[in-house]
Copies of this chain bind each other. A is one copy, B any other.
Amino acid sequence: MPASGPRRAQDVYAATLALLTEHGYDGLTIEGVAARSGVNKTTIYRWWPSKDALLGAALTDAGLLELTVPDTGSLREDLCALVEQILRLLTGRATGTVVTAVLGAATHRPELAGFTRAFFADRLRRERIVFERAAGRGELRPDADPKLVMDLLAGALWLRVLGRGETPRKASVRELVDTVLTGVTP
């Protein structure tokens, strides 16, 4: 919540995410948020000029998108921990619907797409230390690209959840990580 934001920002954010979960992106309206939060529509518009600005603020504030950067001493365990967090984000009861709705809507909403791009860039920035530590321990080929590794791992989960409609089990995280670490050729 911005320091200068309305005192009832938390109520507005909660109403925003609840409506998104219940009715999807298209069913989310500033009018609905006003009715649910009891905060005046004009007040909401004063602080967030659009539905997507409000949604971006709610997602940022909600802590739904937090990331704990692991430091287990092993690249394999660090990657498993990172990918398990992505799995929880995509499939968790509180976050799955929200994240899925936002990623879906972002394909045709430039402002929301800007938010998801910033989100992915921010994640990668914070994940890089995992690869630097692994390189220091000699666990990573010198030409390995951290972004490529994370895109493979996160992308596979994303495709399974959003494209194939699967709910990947935690065991599949290890299979994905092991494949990217060691490859599939004999």
> Chain A contact residues (Cβ within 8 angstroms of B): what range?
35 or more
Partner of A105, one of B104, B152, B159: B104
The docked-state distance in angstroms from the alpha carbon of A101 to that of B107 is: 6
Are B159 and A155 interface neighbours, CB within 8 A? yes
Which residues on the B side are within 8 Å of A75 (C-beta)? 185
The docked-state distance in angstroms from the alpha carbon of A149 to that of B175 is: 10
Beyond A108-B104, A155-B158, whether A148 also contacts B163 by CB under 8 A is no
Residue of B with least CB distance to A151 = B156
Beyond A103-B163, A120-B163, A148-B156, whether A24 also contacts B179 by CB under 8 A is no
Provide the A77-108 mask, 1 if CB < 8 A to any CB of B, else 0: 00000000000000000000000110111111
Which residues on the B side are within 8 Å of A179 (C-beta)? 144-145, 148-149, 152, 180, 183
